Amino acid sequence: MADEIGVLIVDDSALMRNLIGKMIESTPGLVIAEKAMNGRFALQKIPRVNPDIIVLDLEMPEMNGIEFLKERKKQGIKIPVVILSSVARRGAEITMEALALGASDFIQKPSGAVSEDIHAVRDTLVDKLLGYGGRYRRMEGKKLLPGDYTKKPEVVHVPIAADNSATRITSALSTILPVSSTGPAKPPTPLRKPARTEIIAIGISTGGPDALRQVFSQLDADLQVPIVVVQHMPPGFTNEFAKSLDRICPLEVKEAEEGDLIKPGRVLIAQGNKHMEVVKKSLAAIVHLSDDPLVSGHRPSADVLFASVAKAYGNRTLGVIMTGMGRDGAANLGAIYQEGGLTIGQDEASAVVYGMPRVAYELGHVMEQVSLDKMASRICSLAKTQR
């Protein structure tokens, strides 16, 4: 396999193994390590082929995906796993169980167990394989083919719209600015000094399920600052994802609903396929959900969330941008910075994909870079500091 990322494909369908294999073979930096028709055969092959990442179906004979993950955990196997399954389409609870058992991420097969249109999720699958597989190789001290697996996208500066709507923000995405290749740009000039933090806003994508589980399990139980989160995830899964986080987090975690109160000690996770904005009313701040067009390629969009908290809370905001492919959130993290809020980004070494936080950093919108293992303590420290 030389210095390429070796992928073990585990699926009971020969057609699916073949189609997934073709996608891997056509991607620079990836190579097929081996194929297996169920979890039992996969476990037998792992010591011999030593893959860097595993693509795992959940519904298989003899040993299914959940059983495989349990045995993987028992054997102390650290190789990352990406679920690619039709179960991930209809069984959010099973998918969250897979994540709780150590799977890193999941992708829905487009049309059932045998999806001849699997090419529809090719880009998403390849991004995750390169991200998780590349990070595992680096952690194991293995060489990696030279190349930029996180793609340097173009980014935009998105001014805060007067009515703060996602539609207005979308219309502001017309001015395209290239990312600086010579280091961070000059940061925006804050309009005022930071005040005491009253809200924490987090934008995160690829690598997010694992990262949020780690961060939320380590938050202080006495953190009295509300948290709002955009995690890119398909509709139908964010409710179960929020429940899984609620079980390990000392704070209340729930999927955001229209009109939900922003209140101390509560974490709200944006619904899949719904933009989430924070709106200040006369008596309280609430959540507003919308079906407005995609922003930065996403709905929910971290750019939409960051723009809304910058307008509603100004210099009382702590903005956090973490692991993820692309640019979402990078531009309007700058809106928080400009309003006088605090901004932090996940560092390159700990990010599965140093895309979103890198773009934000190169735009000059990140005040401080923080590793994943220190993220929870840094968030709590900043949020509790009197200013």
Q: How many CB atoms lie within 10 A of CB 174?
A: 8
Cα(85)–Cα(259) distance, integer angstroms: 34
Name every residue whose Cβ is closer than 8 Å to that of residue 42 and which is 6 or more positions away in sequence.
8, 10, 36, 54, 56, 68
- Is position 328 annotated as part of the catalytic site? yes
Q: Which of 110, 65, 61, 60 is nearest to 83 (CA)?
A: 65
- Is position 232 annotated as part of the catalytic site? yes
Given the residues 105, 165, 232, 350, the one annotated as active site: 232
- Is position 260 annotated as part of the catalytic site? no
Would you state the structure tokens that stand for residue 147, as one six-digit string?
């190349």
- For every residue of 174-237, DSSP letters joined together read T-EEPPPSSSPPPPPPPSS------EEEEEE-TTHHHHHHHHHHTS-TT--S-EEEEE---TTS
Q: End-to-end alpha-carbon separation of the chain, Å?
A: 54
Given the residues 205, 244, 296, 350, the one annotated as active site: 205
**Rg, Å, the chain Cα set:** 21
Q: Which of 151, 178, 181 is nearest to 27 (CA)?
A: 151
Given the residues 260, 328, 347, 350, the one annotated as active site: 328
- What CA–CA distances, in Å, run from 343 to 2, 25, 352, 366, 369? 40, 40, 20, 5, 9
**Which positions are annotated as active-site residues?**
205, 232, 328
